[in-house]
Homo-oligomer: A and B are copies of this chain.
């Protein structure tokens, strides 16, 4: 599968915290940067996401804001 999202950041799962319905998955994409994704518990199970696994943070361009200091 190839997807339209312009942002596909490769990394490694740091941890997975499951909530009642929503999980937080943190992915280390290198350079000291960790990206947090909030996805369904079902998705975590379906992709067998777990600490140490390679994973890609996928983000649509229209969901990226820009800030300046």
Contact = CB atoms under 8 A, between A and B. Distances in A.
Interface of A: 1-9, 17-25, 27, 29-31, 33, 35-40, 42-44, 46-47, 49, 53-69
Contact of A68 (B20, B54, B69): B54
A62 B59 CA distance: 10
Given A56-B69, A57-B64, A59-B59, 5 more contacts: A2-B68, A25-B66, A29-B33, A38-B62, A39-B64
Contact of A36 (B1, B6, B38, B44): B6
A31 to B, nearest CB: 4
Contact of A17 (B21, B24, B30): B21
